Amino acid sequence: MPINITMPALSPTMEEGNLSKWLVKEGDKVSSGDVLCEIETDKATMEVESVDEGVVAKLVVPAGTEGVKVNALIAILAADGEDVAAAASGGGAAAPKAEAPKTEAPKAEVAPAAKAEAAPAAAPAVAQASASSGARTFSSPLARRLAKDAGLDISAVVGSGPHGRVVKKDVETAVAGGGAKPVAAAPASAAASAPAPALAKGPSEEAVLKNFAEGSYELVPHDGMRKTIAKRLQESKQTIPHFYVSVDCELDALLALRAQVNASAPEKDGKPGYKISVNDMVIKALALALRDVPDANVSWTDSNMVKHKHADVGVAVSIPGGLITPIIRSAELKSLSAISNEMKDLGARAKSRKLKPEEYQGGTTAVSNMGMMGVKNFAAVVNPPHATILAIGAGEERVVVKKGQMVVANVMTVTLSTDHRAVDGALGAELLGAFKRYIENPMGMLV
């Protein structure tokens, strides 16, 4: 029976992708784990691996095709021993239908580090919870067919493939172990969830254009990244009660320490082994502040407060058409030089859209630095599942009063945006106070 290869969902927000390149051709034999193609999403370009074995019977979607919907048929494999020509002509009929994009607000996730620690004990429960809540289970066509033949509920099988996808060996393991039990329906009161608030629609294109003379404008279609950014930020502002706290931080001690640290950097191939930036020190200071104020290192869900064990700091990076937030994992444990080198690597790959999903998804907080652009202060929008984001303004010389005397100091204004459901005003002020102490007494970041 032909095996249908469909457009995978490579991120929780992905609804469509561009098939930029095929790395196989018709007639090629592929094994599980072989790279089939490159998919360009709204954030990055990623390689897609095969989860099945067989011969490429037909490439349904040509390379370079844009806007391919998730779950749309893109290729057909002929299983071992199957006639390739017959598979190419008859495989499309069984292609799964693309699901309509869901409009419910995205649920906060446990940070990847926390999920990894909980996975061994909680995997069966997670699989059952997914099935009982009606969430879609990603699985290969062969796995679904084997599960159906064995009388198994595919949603109750724990997947080991990419992004938790259920593959052939998972079904075989479930059968060998006695079979996965059908998932009992959850009580209606527990399963029912509050409907997501409707997103306000903007003015129609016609309503906007009637205010402008014909020929005085051009229409630029929204790309996938801009659509995703617009959707997530609109949901954030409509569903998250934002609260803002600002403070001024003196930078003179930090700038002096930075110069001293950079001057002592060992050379590699005639170049310094690292070059610390102010932004690197901001990342470290925020991570240490979250370590010191653990009640602020949280994410909100409808039933629980998710308390993170590490500070995974996302850093907003501007790229053509939008922005992306690569994440420095466990930043409170890393040295300034390690943060600096990691940030340079992530930033360079972000601009070329070569980040892996795990390098920009999740995180526990974020930093948005517009100080380098001369912006004095601003308030950033919380990016769920985060409960906080720190907006960094420009460092500038200002007159301050010390011991009754006016002196000049380098000062920057920072503004903490919080999800008020998880981090209230007093807790936000405590977190910002801890951050200010590390910025103004930066030797504490070297301990």
User: 112-143 pLDDT, tens per residue?
Assistant: 444 434 333 333 333 333 333 345 566 766 67
User: Which tokens go with 78?
Assistant: 């002929």
Residue listed under structure tokens 């948005």? 368
Instruction: Write down the pLDDT at residue 388.
Output: 97
pLDDT at 93: 44
| 63-100 pLDDT per residue, tens | 988 889 988 999 998 887 788 787 777 655 444 443 44
Cβ atoms 52, 82 nearer than 8 A: no
pLDDT of residue 357: 85
**Distance in angstroms (rounded) separating the CA atoms of residues 380 and 192:** 33
- pLDDT of 78 reads 87
Half-sphere exposure of 411 (CA within 13 A, CB side): 14
CA-based nearest residue to 5, from 85, 135, 83, 96: 96
Q: Where are the domains of the chain?
A: 3-94, 112-176, 226-445
Query: 3-state DSSP call for residue 327?
Result: strand
Task: Read off the pTM.
Answer: 0.64
CB count within 10 Å of CB 266 equals 8
State the pLDDT at residue 394. Answer: 96
* Helix (H) or strand (E) segment spanning residue 177: none
Residue pair 154/147 in contact (Cβ under 8 Å)? The answer is: yes
* Whether the Cβ atoms of residue 179 and residue 152 lie closer than 8 Å to each other: yes
Contact 429, 444 (CB under 8 A): no
308 noted as active-site residue: no
pLDDT score at 128 = 34
CATH architecture of 112-176: Irregular (4.10)
Could you read off the pLDDT tens digit of each residue along the chain, which spans 447 residues? 788 889 888 776 678 888 989 999 998 999 888 889 988 887 778 888 888 888 898 899 999 888 899 889 999 988 877 887 877 776 554 444 434 444 444 444 444 444 434 333 333 333 333 333 345 566 766 677 777 777 788 777 887 766 677 777 778 788 777 655 444 444 444 334 445 555 666 677 888 887 888 788 888 888 777 888 888 889 999 999 999 999 999 999 999 999 999 999 998 888 898 999 999 999 999 999 999 999 999 999 999 999 999 999 999 999 888 889 999 999 999 999 999 999 999 999 998 888 888 899 899 999 999 998 999 999 999 999 999 999 999 999 999 999 999 999 999 999 999 999 999 999 999 999 999 999 999 999 998
pLDDT, position 184: 42
Question: Residue 381 CB: number of other CB atoms within 10 A?
Answer: 16
Give the DSSP per-residue string, 188-249.
Answer: HHHH--PPPPPPPP---HHHHHTTS-TTS-------HHHHHHHHHHHHHHHHS-EEEEEEEE
226-445: CATH superfamily: Chloramphenicol acetyltransferase-like domain (3.30.559.10)
Q: Does domain 3-94 match CATH 2.40.50.100?
A: yes
Cα–Cα distance, 232 to 180 (Å, whole number) = 36
**Is-contact 427 295, C-beta < 8 A?**
yes
Catalytic residue among 308, 310, 386, 420: 420
